[in-house]
Amino acid sequence: MRDRTRKTGWAVVFAVVVAFAIPWFLWRDATVVAGLPVWLWWHIGWLMLTSVIFYVFSQWGWGLWVGGDRV
């Protein structure tokens, strides 16, 4: 049961990571901050956040769905 909760939780996290790599809420926006469009800053920040999330997963979620040394 605990495993199932973890699987669902991580699936939701990854779905959010995929969904907002492109800032849909900034569609047709052209605001520029510090030399780059805001939508590009969002993307840069989002991919850095993705990297942190992937790291957290590799430490505490690794093996979910797939198998391996933890699950």
Partner 1 sequence: MSVVLQVAIVVGYLLAALAVGLLAYRLTERTAEDYYLAGRSLGTVVLLFTTFATLLSAFTFFAGPNIAYRFGPEWILVMGLMDGVLFGLLWYVVGFKQWLLGQQHGYVTLGELLGKRFDAPRLRGGVAFVSLFWLFPYVMLQQDGAGSALAALTNGAVPYWLGAGIITGFMILYVVLAGMRGVAWTDTLQGAFMLVVVWTALLWVLYAVGGASTATAALAASNPEFLRLGGGFYAVPNFLSTAVGIAFGVTMFPQVNQRFFAGDSETVLKRSFALWPILVLLLFVPAFMLGAWGAGLGVEMPASGNILPAILAEYTPGWFAAVVVAGAMAAMMSSSDSMLLSGSSYFTRDLYRPFVADEVDERREDRLARVGVVAFALATYAMSLYNRSIEGTWSLFRIGDTAFGGFAQLALPVMLALYWDGTSREGLAAGIFGSQLFFLLTVFQPETWVGGVPLAGSALAGLLEPAFGLFASSYVGGWGANVVGMGLGLVLTVAGSLLTAGRN
Are 14 and 56 in contact by the 8 Å Cβ rule? The answer is no
Token pair recorded at residue 37? 């469009």
| Smallest gap from residue 8 Cβ to partner 1 (A) | 16
The yes or no reply on residue 22 touching partner 1 (CB under 8 A) is yes
The yes or no reply on residue 36 touching partner 1 (CB under 8 A) is yes
The yes or no reply on residue 60 touching partner 1 (CB under 8 A) is no
CB burial class (10 A; 0-12, 13-18, 19+) of residue 48? exposed
Residues lying near partner 1 in the complex (CB under 8 A): 14, 17-18, 21-23, 26-30, 32, 34-37, 39-40, 43-44, 46-48, 50-52, 54-55, 57-59, 62, 65-69
